[in-house]
Structure 1
């Protein structure tokens, strides 16, 4: 014991003389280790003064420990715990004052560890404002229980291994938004999960399509590794927090109650159990409870934030993880800025009576601002009053059933995000919709052609927006677009001396695409078909397929992943073109009469319906959706 204390003092004194802190090592320094050269003017160096203070602090702790040892029996290092609030150094290579030791851990009282950066204590006023902003006054125990018992954990079910599981109602807005970012990394940046490159998501990568060499086969997530999923989760947390911090900072909230057994040499599973046990009885029922245990660190580097969040991941996986991440996002934005983002800052962000995350929370995590609306930009009400919406384009988007019911209008920023991933909102729950291919957001070929023709037509419109052009203008449009109108159609259009867009467009709909028109005799070119995946993280009862085959029903509680086949016709397609299709004769299938054959096998299946389909149609109007099994659920 005395030898160890002398080692502590010796290393602390050496630290006070060094130019820079010694590199951490795996073993105790030799007794005859040399002393570095001292600078010419150590009194003028703030770093030297800091080390002198650290040495003095180490000497003070040793004197205190000697006085305690004189009055009490000596305790082993494995069981020595301070009587009051304690903080335990987790890095097995360092203890206070820079001492390198092979001893299991160093324990001391919180007030004696001010020189170690465990995070700042939140001022009481800020804690009161934070708690009131989230929960309001008079929050029920049920709502607090929902938000105090939801960790950020992946599903153990192989079919939904990429998904975050929700056990309680309420925090789904936080989990679904985080899930959307996690999917972005798992689907579109699988090769980068093993390394961290700051600002990598902001690179202009253009349209990306997944191949089997890049990622898991569509819909098969069982091959994802735990390390890969953890990396995607931490990257997502870093990106969201820096987004909230205007890409300048991330505030990471954690708890001062760290456990003895969480040292670096512990297995990850042991860390999880230790954190869970430590936080099991931790009450967060008031602002004072929050202020006692909450500690915050501000990171201005994405790399440092990544390392810290990676180290603290077991805390976010604990029962308080969802609440802790929400607090981190709010503090990263800044409490005053959050209130300024809102149209009405008085209601709590967690809405009563069911404890759901408000739209402000979801928007904060999606775009970095706690605005309450989903339209683009802001709406001027006059008199200097504005309603605030989504200010810029986003990485992942948002769709809502409320738009189908004409209760809101989702703008293009959220409806057309950079990546084909959307948080889906219903009246009471948030889920996630996604695709493996970014081309699902591309215009279909005929719609692109229509846009090109309309642009050329508008370029010849000299009526000030009246929607008609001259005969000379029509001939210019035909030259620019290469449209070949039959003489009788051209004469009919030019008979009045001016051409209206609606008449021109009607002729184009009846003109075969080989002549530059829109009539698609095959029925395939004008229709987009793709798969969408829907993930509902809340654990629901599903049938165990293997046992169902044998006649024994065994419901399981697990998240749900659904696959939808989506067909989207061009926006102008008449209903008759959605039915019977004229197929020209081909090799081996020629009709003896030489006529085209009318077949009905290509007629699309009747659209299946669920509330999710209504959400999808706000993004892809008139889309037809089909799936196998139970309807996908957004509640």
Structure 2
């Protein structure tokens, strides 16, 4: 579809409302107007220039790392050529598009020439002109959409026209391609209980629906497993184990509950969320991606009733724990177990006693020690504004750690690994913001 056609204008108007709402602040639009650029200091790390577009950049970085770690384990990150990194970028973008399960793929392109200058079957397409578009209206007037039937066609197109992704509007063009491929009506249906735009009209941050769309292909608003009915409303969550995961410090603040699908992805890569920014954690330790065992799930549930990290719960909470862990929770049985586990009638039940009773000999899937790496693409959040992967040595301790309120990174990681402690190679915990 060419710029200026009635059909495309209608689609773009609907996409604009879905993404931006009725009003778009020029400074918010300009913050999102950047391409996928690699760091000169870390060949495979993407740079984020301003706050806002992390909702697109961090998921792309996550899938890029997933592909890199899966295919070249043990490879030095510093040996990667620019051609290899461009290929990883294209494949990461295509992975995100593939999750939309679209009947065809609609790739948005920004044209510097008049719309009839070229077609998708002809010469390569320019990714960006030297003309600066200060408003979304100017940007929309220059968008053209190229339809493709297969993902391999999309990959070939992006490979030939890599500047589409790397030049100024690459991030926005990917967002538009995802929504136009998936279908506006489908995205709206998945966001049925929400009316807010996917990008915050004032601050420019991506919503949870947008983050989930980029990570899973579904624009649902919640991070728990499956759907939940709350107050008669069906609220949609994550429907299956994902390739890469998601952890958020907002769970520590009890604003949400991240489900097992996100906490235990297929690959040891997690997007990390603060209240304003997204970064990425990853590891070469494949065992970190092992599915949660039944015992680990029960221990996690037990700890959720022990917010102070005391390694015990009130005896009165046993029935709720058993119910949440999908164990027998009939009152007579619960009372029998309560007397057994609290034989001295102290009013508490120890975690060790609970696990020995219900999951004797349970082994953890994760190793006790492992190396982790952290990516933060925002220039100002990196020492010397150099975007580099930061490395830490992690250990799972006997007892849960209590993170200092100033260590947001450790607090976020403890929503998945309650007993984790990390020593970073440079002696400083990386920023989540």
* TM-score under structure 1 length normalisation: 0.54
1:504–1:302 distance in 2 versus 1, CA, 3 Å = closer
Once the two structures are superposed, the pairs formed by residues 137-536 of structure 1 within 5 Å of their partners are 137-148=22-33, 150-157=34-41, 160-190=42-72, 210=73, 212=74, 215-216=75-76, 221-244=77-100, 246=101, 248-258=103-113, 275=126, 279-283=129-133, 285-287=135-137, 289-383=138-232, 385-442=233-290, 466=333, 506=353, 528-536=368-376
CA contact under 8 A between 1:186 and 1:229: conserved in structure 2? no
1:608–1:330 distance in 2 versus 1, CA, 3 Å = same
Where structure 2 has 5 or more consecutive residues not aligned to the other structure, the ranges are 118-122, 300-324, 344-348
CA contact under 8 A between 2:102 and 2:182: conserved in structure 1? no
1:466–1:155 distance in 2 versus 1, CA, 3 Å = same
CA contact under 8 A between 2:266 and 2:289: conserved in structure 1? no
User: In structure 2, how many angstroms separate the alpha carbons of the residues matched to 1:531 and 1:144?
Assistant: 38
CA contact under 8 A between 1:617 and 1:623: conserved in structure 2? yes
User: In structure 2, how many angstroms separate the alpha carbons of the residues matched to 1:180 and 1:568?
Assistant: 24
User: In structure 2, how many angstroms separate the alpha carbons of the residues matched to 1:284 and 1:311?
Assistant: 28
Cα offsets for 1:261-298 (capped at 9, x unmatched): xxxxx9xxxx9xx957x5232426244x3442211122
User: In structure 2, how many angstroms separate the alpha carbons of the residues matched to 1:446 and 1:360?
Assistant: 29
1:123 aligns with 2:123: no
1:290–1:611 distance in 2 versus 1, CA, 3 Å = same
CA contact under 8 A between 1:608 and 1:625: conserved in structure 2? no
Report the counterpart of residue 132 of structure 1 in structure 2.
17
CA contact under 8 A between 1:371 and 1:389: conserved in structure 2? yes
Aligned residues: 389
1:293–1:380 distance in 2 versus 1, CA, 3 Å = same
CA-CA distance at 1:335 after TM superposition:
0.8
Once the two structures are superposed, the pairs formed by residues 555-574 of structure 1 within 5 Å of their partners are 556-569=384-397
Report the counterpart of residue 98 of structure 1 in structure 2.
none
Cα offsets for 1:80-105 (capped at 9, x unmatched): xxxxxxxxxxxxxxxxxxxxxxxxxx
1:249–1:632 distance in 2 versus 1, CA, 3 Å = same
CA-CA distance at 1:446 after TM superposition:
12
1:468–1:124 distance in 2 versus 1, CA, 3 Å = same
User: In structure 1, how many angstroms separate the alpha carbons of the residues matched to 2:215 and 2:354?
Assistant: 44
User: In structure 1, how many angstroms separate the alpha carbons of the residues matched to 2:377 and 2:189?
Assistant: 32
User: In structure 2, how many angstroms separate the alpha carbons of the residues matched to 1:541 and 1:430?
Assistant: 12
User: In structure 1, how many angstroms separate the alpha carbons of the residues matched to 2:22 and 2:365?
Assistant: 58
CA-CA distance at 1:505 after TM superposition:
6.2
What secondary structure sits across from 1:433 in the alignment?
A: strand
User: In structure 2, how many angstroms separate the alpha carbons of the residues matched to 1:303 and 1:631?
Assistant: 41
CA contact under 8 A between 1:349 and 1:357: conserved in structure 2? yes
CA-CA distance at 1:312 after TM superposition:
2.1
What secondary structure sits across from 1:327 in the alignment?
A: helix
CA RMSD, Structure 1 to Structure 2 (Å)? 4.0
1:613 aligns with 2:413: no
Residue among 420, 428, 431 paired with 1:623: 420
Cα offsets for 1:132-191 (capped at 9, x unmatched): 22122232111011112x11011111xx2211001121111100000000001111123x
What secondary structure sits across from 2:145 in the alignment?
A: strand
What secondary structure sits across from 1:370 in the alignment?
A: coil
1:434–1:280 distance in 2 versus 1, CA, 3 Å = same
User: In structure 1, how many angstroms separate the alpha carbons of the residues matched to 2:30 and 2:283?
Assistant: 34
User: In structure 2, how many angstroms separate the alpha carbons of the residues matched to 1:426 and 1:469?
Assistant: 43
User: In structure 1, how many angstroms separate the alpha carbons of the residues matched to 2:267 and 2:365?
Assistant: 24
Cα offsets for 1:400-434 (capped at 9, x unmatched): 11001000001111111111111111111110011
User: In structure 1, how many angstroms separate the alpha carbons of the residues matched to 2:176 and 2:78?
Assistant: 32
* TM-score under structure 2 length normalisation: 0.78
CA-CA distance at 1:131 after TM superposition:
1.5
Once the two structures are superposed, the pairs formed by residues 33-44 of structure 1 within 5 Å of their partners are none
CA contact under 8 A between 2:62 and 2:244: conserved in structure 1? yes
